[in-house]
Amino acid sequence: MHTHADSFASTLPGQLTSPGFAFVEGDAMKPLLTAVGQLSDWAAFVDSWNQLEPDPYLAAKGRFRRRRHATFSATADGPVLPEPHQAHYQSLQYNALQGDIQRWFEPITAPVANGASLRTILAFCHRLFGEVAPTALRWHIEVHQFRIEATADTAGEPTPEGSHRDGVDYVLVLLVNRQNIASGTTTIHTPDGRLLGDFTLTHPLDAALIHDPSVYHGVTPVRPLEADKPAFRDVLVVTFKASASHAA
């Protein structure tokens, strides 16, 4: 029987090629993930966002979010492997707010990094991005856990640098949880600013997949629905950058 997930599996490579992005709802994303692995520790994976640490670099700019970071690598036909903890770096070309800085964040904890959910998500990305970019021989992979918090007085900013590119080849933004927030709409633009699409990651496993060289992406600020209750948006961001390739 042909399913909704089958349709996405067959069309995602083409969407990443043109127009350069895809939005996948959680009901379709889950079977895409479980086709390559398990999500058996999903509850613990979600709970790990409660142990994220403040971003000290953003705090220095008078803004606030929580995060953890890890680095992996993979060859075209090999497994995704962890790399030693290292800094996250973007040039000013890609991050006008915090570019040209070696930013060190607290590492993603071992149970999360080695757990079924993250390994499955990375395996899915490796398979999909490898299919779209068959000339890539080796991938540099970074994983970011983000929690954006909002209060009655201060909106949470998922992308404080505005509409941007990340300076990589492919990006997955996966919603893990959202509580008591409004907005947080993802917008996709051409390099000259023309809007290509917009959508809101609302349910767990809702996902945005992006070919970073082709399009810019951003997320509108989030505000609490009820001012006296905790309000946050938890996402996992995975980036793949080809670190070696052969001629097509």
CA distance linking residue 23 with residue 150, whole number of Å: 24
Q: Where are the alpha helices (DSSP H) in 55-168?
A: 56-59, 110-113, 116-132
Q: What number is the average pLDDT over the span 7-30?
A: 91
Cis peptide before 13 (omega within 30 of 0): no
What pLDDT does 3 receive? 55
Percent of the chain with pLDDT over 70: 85
What pLDDT does 160 receive? 67
CA distance linking residue 231 with residue 12, whole number of Å: 32
∠ CA 175-140-132, nearest 5°, is 70
Half-sphere exposure at residue 11, Cβ-oriented, CA atoms within 13 angstroms: 14
Domains of the chain: 4-245 (2.60.120.620)
Chain position carrying tokens 């097509």: 248
Judge contact between 16 and 170, C-beta under 8 A. Answer: yes
46-55 tens-digit pLDDT: 999 999 998 8
* Amino acid residing at 231: A
CA distance linking residue 31 with residue 49, whole number of Å: 23
Percent of the chain with pLDDT over 90: 68
What pLDDT does 89 receive? 57
State the pTM of this model.
0.90
177-235 tens-digit pLDDT: 999 999 999 999 998 989 999 999 999 999 999 999 999 998 999 999 999 999 999 99
Q: Which of 220, 182, 214 is nearest to 196 (CA)?
A: 214
What pLDDT does 90 receive? 52
Looking at residue 164, the DSSP 8-state letter turns out to be: B
